A and B are shown apart, each in its own frame.
Chain A
């Protein structure tokens, strides 16, 4: 008879995207249900864990929150090794963060192959400052991307995004 820990599935999930798009805020909202307005840059990688149940299976998400990509910090693809899925986080108020997400997605695909990922349009609450139109999102969906609108601040779509990625990782084809 197996004990509970034997049934635990461990999955590594990476948070990818440009800097200051809200990767850490999304993780913090999801793991601790907290949010801070103050921007705190991430150095290197921040590791968090969260246990969730997907289709009756207890799963430990090991969340790798990678420092945002910019001219100073580049993506170390060795950090992606072993990931079962990833989030591409885009700041809806900064159009250039979508380009970074697309570049990062290409790099991730080269390293990891076709593993599940979800594009997250974050800062959905800042409606007056949006710098992308709905057509951009439609284009991404046409490309085959799963896009979820989130706001770490308002706790919109955060749980839904993690659950969606969790399902895609646990149940292939979801």
Chain B
């Protein structure tokens, strides 16, 4: 029913007016509607009288407040009980409200059924609460998503660390295998790696580039696996054939590494680590900017470390001499 005035009229028609008597019972002013007679049958000794004594009932509880209100002598203000619902008969409930008022010295009790206004209020309240529940669920979902995203981030970080650790272990193992075949240069790759990173840091390269140099430095001589141990350990001068076999290690290193998916061009750096700026290096004879910057850094580090270390075919030239060599060739194409 959409007409508000009509709703109010219907509600008024479902109102029972009672007057409190000195013995605490109530006289009913007009004939009580059927719902009232059903609901309060046990409290109506006669059809025109209501006697409530049970304080566990809603009305009994309200009458305690109503008595205080009547006794306070306030006038023309209604004290409302708030709505309450009781079972009228199985499957049918009724929503009511009670009010206490003093009228011309009489203590009046109003009990009205909220057939219509109650339903409208219920609808409005229900709709408001459903919205709150929906937004709570949305907030919960948001929290869950955020927690899941944090969890994923932690997992990715954990896995990345695991992969990095595994990679480092593999690199370490390869380095050891490479150097086992040439014990006289043991530690060379590690030292080249440290030198290359130090140079890169001095040049202001970012951490990503330094990391790629670290890996390339640790693996740059991996191709020596293909070079016969007699050549690697030969104390005297190498023949042209032996030299060619030794020089093939750059290409061999590239071939070993080219199919591994590093985040950086490690295989290319390893391939170019014997190229010279003037194009006299090997295997490609590349020159200048055609050589990767990181391969150039690795080249310098490799040369300095070789000169500073003892070799079977010559004693150490010393770090000072190695650095002086680099210093004196500053700005010139590097030859080795």
Question: Which residues of A approach B to under 8 Å, CB–CB?
Answer: 10-12, 19-20, 39-48, 62, 64, 68, 70, 72-73, 76, 78-79, 81-82, 94, 96, 131
Contact of A45 among B58, B128, B130, B136 (CB under 8 A): B58
Q: A47-B57, A94-B136 are in contact. List 5 more A-B contacts (CB 8 A).
A: A39-B130, A44-B82, A45-B85, A46-B93, A68-B129
A48-B87, A62-B57 as given contacts; A41 in contact with B125, CB under 8 Å: yes
A45-B58, A78-B61, A79-B61 as given contacts; A72 in contact with B84, CB under 8 Å: no
A93: nearest residue on chain B (CB-CB)? B140
User: Using a CB-CB cutoff of 8 Å, which residues 116-133 of chain B contact chain A?
Assistant: 118, 121-122, 125-126, 128-130, 132-133
- A70 proximity list for chain B (CB < 8 A): 129, 132
A12: nearest residue on chain B (CB-CB)? B56
User: Using a CB-CB cutoff of 8 Å, which residues 287-335 of chain B contact chain A?
Assistant: none
Question: Which residues of B approach A to under 8 Å, CB–CB?
Answer: 54-58, 61, 64-65, 82-87, 93, 95, 97, 118, 121-122, 125-126, 128-130, 132-133, 136, 140
Q: How far is the CB of B147 from chain A (nearest CB, A)?
A: 12
A31: nearest residue on chain B (CB-CB)? B87
A10-B54, A78-B61 as given contacts; A47 in contact with B133, CB under 8 Å: no
Q: How far is the CB of B301 from chain A (nearest CB, A)?
A: 56
- A41 proximity list for chain B (CB < 8 A): 122, 125-126, 129
Q: How far is the CA of A46 from the CA of B140 in the complex (A)?
A: 30
Q: Looking at chain A's contact residues, is the secondary structure mostly helix, strand, loop, or mixed?
A: loop
- A64 proximity list for chain B (CB < 8 A): 58
- B121 proximity list for chain A (CB < 8 A): 43
Q: Is the CB of B136 within 8 A of A47?
A: no
Q: Is the CB of A46 within 8 A of B65?
A: no
Q: Is the CB of B82 within 8 A of A62?
A: no
Q: How far is the CB of A53 from chain B (nearest CB, A)?
A: 19
Q: Is the CB of A72 within 8 A of B56?
A: no
Task: Across the A-B interface, give the 7 residue pairs with the lowest CB-CB distance, nearest first.
Answer: A44-B83, A12-B56, A45-B84, A46-B85, A62-B56, A41-B126, A43-B83
Q: Is the CB of B58 within 8 A of A47?
A: yes
Q: How far is the CA of A73 from the CA of B124 in the complex (A)?
A: 13
- A79 proximity list for chain B (CB < 8 A): 61, 82
Q: How far is the CB of B76 from chain A (nearest CB, A)?
A: 22
Q: Is the CB of A47 within 8 A of B84?
A: yes
- B136 proximity list for chain A (CB < 8 A): 94, 96
Subset of 8 A-B contacts with CB under 8 Å: A41-B129, A43-B122, A46-B85, A46-B93, A47-B57, A70-B132, A79-B82, A96-B136
Q: How far is the CA of A11 from the CA of B57 in the complex (A)?
A: 10
Residue among A47, A68, A73 facing the most chain B CB atoms (10 A cut-off)? A47
- B133 proximity list for chain A (CB < 8 A): 20, 39
B62: nearest residue on chain A (CB-CB)? A78
Q: How far is the CA of A68 from the CA of B41 in the complex (A)?
A: 30
Q: Is the CB of A44 within 8 A of B129?
A: no
Q: How far is the CB of B111 from chain A (nearest CB, A)?
A: 14
Q: How far is the CA of A96 from the CA of B118 in the complex (A)?
A: 28
A19-B129, A72-B125, A78-B65 as given contacts; A43 in contact with B95, CB under 8 Å: yes
